Structure 1
């Protein structure tokens, strides 16, 4: 898979993030209304990446800087957002490739921990994150009081 840092407002990123929202509707019955703006994913405060197979966009994900001004988060946190692989490309390890790339980029930008929100209706994501060393953390974000919300974090190795 070819990884390209595109920005959150790139047409391929917009296409894939719209598909993510449809996935949330299928799994949770509604879209995710967390505030997301292109500038959240602009260097040095974050990135958004699209993965391509044979020129077609098939995966996406990004991270954005967070700090202790956000409840339950720490200075140096990078929040993962919109990790997604299209259904026809699943089962090939593309999400793991994307996750490791985003972790590497967050660490290179000086972030010390990666945090994320997922949910009980995304068992594949929960399994991926657990296999990569993510552990439960204090819930944060818009859905922190939702019973289906799961928040995970992973310390990044010092650079």
Structure 2
């Protein structure tokens, strides 16, 4: 499926559109999980991909290097008004391509137990459950996944 007007752009984590999107994401998660939401600061080396449709920012995803060959997906988000168009798959494909071009052969991520759409997206995209990794090992609302990239 081709979505007209989609633009992907590499941006720093300080980009105003990324800050707006990640703030909205964190507010949505806080409303969903309340005090059960793990609050994890972004690593300074995270690189973001901004997704815009017809020039309007509607989504983002971060890629954080963790160890040689290992990256972590951070703050993947699509605004509610743009959901259901396949944009999350576009972001996931983009972050996987960025990881591979950076020499990463494995990606991991954390999502929440109440985020059924995200869980379905990741599992349908080849991510498999993995034991929780720090700092999520004691978070009851956290689920961790990983995928080997080829």
TM-score of the superposed pair, with normalisation by structure 1: 0.86
* Counterpart-to-counterpart distance in 2, 1:3 and 1:19: 19
TM-score, structure 2 as length reference: 0.91
1:54 positional shift: 1.4
Question: CA contact under 8 A between 1:24 and 1:32: conserved in structure 2?
Answer: no
Equivalenced residue count is 144
Correspondence 1:80-91 to 2 at 5 A? 80-91=73-84
Alignment correspondent of 1:65: 65
Q: Is the 8 A contact 1:120 1:149 kept in 2?
A: yes
Aligned residues of 1:48 and 1:63 also touching (Cα < 8 A): yes
The residue number in structure 2 matching 1:149 is: 142
Match of 2:117 among 120, 124, 139: 124
2:69 aligns to what?
76
The residue aligned with 1:34 is: 40
Between the aligned partners of 1:52 and 1:32, the Cα distance in structure 2 is 28
SS at match of 2:111: strand
8 Å Cα contact 1:21-1:32 kept in structure 2: no
Please, which runs of 5 or more residues in structure 1 have no aligned partner?
42-46, 68-74
Cα separation, 1, equivalents of 2:101 and 2:9: 16
Query: Per-residue deviation at 1:76?
Result: 1.4
Ranges in structure 2 where 5+ consecutive residues have no aligned partner: 1-5
